[in-house]
Structure 1
Amino acid sequence: MVALLALALLGAGGVGAAALYLRSVDNDVERVDAFTGVPTQDRPPVVARDAMNIMILGSDSRDPERTEGSRTDTIILAHLPKDRKSAQLVSIPRDTWVRVPRSADGRHGGRTAKINAAYAWGGIPLMVQTVEEFTRVHVDHVAVVDFAGFQEIIDALGGVDITVDHRFTSIHPPLRTFPAGRQTMDGATALDYSRQRKQFPDGDFARIRHQQQVIRAILDKAATGGILTSPGKLNDFVRAASSSVSVDREMSLLDLATELRGLRGGNLTFVTSPSRGTGRVGSESVVFADEQKSEAFYDAVRRDATAEIVRAAR
């Protein structure tokens, strides 16, 4: 999204050149079959036809704590209202306890589990089914991001500015200490910051907040950091982003860049899916969704009721 926004900003000064460049980038972005095998009859209807919902899946392939295979560490439902003047990014905790539909091969699912199990059991299509069943929001597009690629993206920007709430030390080598206050982080430091969770009482919720900070910081730096006047920096930034992301076959990067040209960090609202907190199911530590609040919240997303969505973030 931030790469597209940078190109859209560039397009304000030279639409033709930006479009040609974006088409070349589009050819380099990997395409995935996101909706193959998703039963049409089970999908929620489109309620607000001019709005758009993009499911963003993040997998940290170089996470030092990674001991298991293809699970997605980050799940974001990005809602783009019909006027495209803002975006609401809804983080769904990866341990949210939900019903996962049965996988296409019939070997998995058909029961309750952590929401990120859907990715391991049936890839992107089962993840689409699971998120749609949980939220009753129609997913229009899918993007899959290797968050380890954030390191190259941030370095291409010359670092990002992050405000750390409380001093803490990373649990991963080289055991960085993050002092409280505003500081500029390079790619490796920002990635380390966005991985931390075990030092905080609210665990993965703290990691979600850190990831949201990094996303906003990248967008702000892309819009104001001078990359638009430096072809070399812009190319490094866009190429780093495009090499870290895969999108569904129907997503038009050029159209999306044009529609999002007015978006900035100040127009982003980050929301965490309503929950009742954490607990245990058997041997598993899970996050329990707040069913009543979730129903009202996702109904607002379905209806494109931007004011209600933003209010839920306060």
Structure 2
Amino acid sequence: MQQRHDPVEPDTTTAVGTPPEQTTEGQPSSTGDAPRGKRRWRRIALISFLVVALLGGAGTIAGALYLRSVESDIDRLDAFVGVPQESRPQVVAKDAMNIMILGSDSRDPDSSSGSRTDTIILAHLPADRSSAQLISIPRDTWVSVPRSAEGRGGRDAKINAAYAWGGVPLMVQTVEQFTKVRVDHVVMVDFAGFKEIIDALGGIEVNSEKQFTSIHPPFRTFQAGPQKMDGEAALDYSRQRKQFADGDFSRIRHQQQVIKAIMDKATSGGLLTNPARLNSFLQATSGSLSMDNDLSLVDMATENRNLRGRNLTFVTSPTKGTGRVGSESVVFADDKRVDTFYAAVRRDSVQDIIDGADNK
């Protein structure tokens, strides 16, 4: 049982009349709601890595030119504007790369807020680019959030509060302060875009850990074991958490399953040899993501041409479990293990990253 802390200041982003969000413990959270019609940030998807692996395998001049045309349609982020350079972590392994990936689900049935990032992944690409470690940081992780340029934050809070208070730059500062890992690039993805991506692939196969029924219409029942899903079913599967004792941790696992299934299908299903399907896939992908001004998909595709689903490892940032801070249900980081774990990320020690994580 975690020690009870003093109450924190109320979240000021709650809109009157909107239902409270369920948190890791299944209790209402003070996570804020924004006015109706705006997006609620949640559920990250690693579409960027999928594009990288897929087009890296093509490797032709025509492929590169086409990718540049797709890339020109992608929105760009001023991800590092206002981030104090003197406070940023130093680069230890200069040829490794760390990408912070944030996401939204603009068609989530539970959506009522556009001010929070409810899933955060720090993707580590080792110097040899032979693999990728995708580190999920639970949205309710209790951390110190720096003060934003507008004077918001500057106190302990759930890590996803940083986006509400200072957008992407404050998320960069918060993640860097928590991990002491320098963020090289930022990608934001609309998770709802997975529907079009999965349908462009002709569906994916996912192995469900148990039978359960979705809480959203049309209330699908997912059978235990392997099953083929179209885009709507896979998106529904990825949203579920309230039926599981470990809440958000189960949702993280489901998202990881879907991401890996997309990667596996894209790299083994003949997509590269089918121009029509490839075009549908790339158009769906480009419409679902935005990235920082310096990230090039062409360069990433070249560097990561050998990356495949089997080379991805999905892990979770070390935690001590859940507890309460005042009225809030939170996830407590295991500070000692966090220090050791992210030290391995900084020095690009892949096996130590895998061994030191929470593989929930």
**Residue 16 (1) aligns with residue 61 (2):** yes
Aligned mate of 2:267, from 216, 223, 226? 223
Q: Deviations over 1:32-58 (max 9, x none)?
A: 100000000110011100000000001
Deviation of residue 67 (structure 1)? 2.3
The residue aligned with 2:54 is 6
The residue aligned with 1:66 is 111
- Contact 1:4–1:257 at 8 Å: present in 2 too? yes
Q: Deviations over 1:89-125 (max 9, x none)?
A: 000000000011111111x100000100101111100
Deviation of residue 172 (structure 1)? 0.7
SS class of match (2:196): helix
Identity of aligned residues (%): 69
Q: Which amino acid aligns with 2:273?
A: T
The residue aligned with 2:137 is 92
Q: Deviations over 1:231-289 (max 9, x none)?
A: 01001101101110000000111110011110111110111000000111111110000
- Contact 1:271–1:312 at 8 Å: present in 2 too? no
Deviation of residue 144 (structure 1)? 0.2
Q: How does 1:269-308 map to 2 (within 5 A)?
A: 269-308=313-352
The residue aligned with 2:222 is 178
The residue aligned with 1:232 is 276
The residue aligned with 1:257 is 301
Q: How does 1:44-193 map to 2 (within 5 A)?
A: 44-106=89-151, 108-193=152-237
- Contact 1:73–1:116 at 8 Å: present in 2 too? yes
Unmatched 5+ stretches in structure 2 = 1-48
More deviation in 267-276 or 304-313?
304-313
Q: Which amino acid aligns with 2:155?
A: R
Q: Which amino acid aligns with 2:81?
A: T
Deviation of residue 225 (structure 1)? 1.0
- Contact 1:60–1:73 at 8 Å: present in 2 too? no
How many matched pairs? 310
Structure 1: how far apart are the matches of 2:354 and 2:118?
24
Deviation of residue 160 (structure 1)? 0.7
Deviation of residue 224 (structure 1)? 0.5
Structure 2: how far apart are the matches of 1:277 and 1:223?
36
Aligned mate of 2:81, from 36, 45, 48? 36
SS class of match (1:110): strand
- Contact 2:191–2:288 at 8 Å: present in 1 too? yes
Structure 2: how far apart are the matches of 1:165 and 1:130?
33
SS class of match (2:305): coil
SS class of match (1:280): strand
Unmatched 5+ stretches in structure 1 = none
Deviation of residue 68 (structure 1)? 2.0
Structure 2: how far apart are the matches of 1:291 and 1:181?
36
Deviation of residue 69 (structure 1)? 2.3
Query: Normalised by the size of structure 2, how large is the TM-score?
Result: 0.85
SS class of match (2:153): coil
Q: Which amino acid aligns with 2:347?
A: R
**Residue 212 (1) aligns with residue 256 (2):** yes
Structure 2: how far apart are the matches of 1:67 and 1:281?
24
The residue aligned with 2:289 is 245
SS class of match (1:9): helix
Structure 2: how far apart are the matches of 1:28 and 1:68?
26
- Contact 1:92–1:272 at 8 Å: present in 2 too? yes
SS class of match (1:101): strand
Structure 2: how far apart are the matches of 1:71 and 1:225?
35
SS class of match (1:90): strand
The residue aligned with 2:10 is none
Q: Which amino acid aligns with 2:242?
A: K
Deviation of residue 214 (structure 1)? 0.6
Q: Which amino acid aligns with 2:101?
A: I
- Contact 1:5–1:263 at 8 Å: present in 2 too? yes
Structure 1: how far apart are the matches of 2:182 and 2:100?
10
Give the aligned CA root-mean-square deviation in angstroms: 0.8
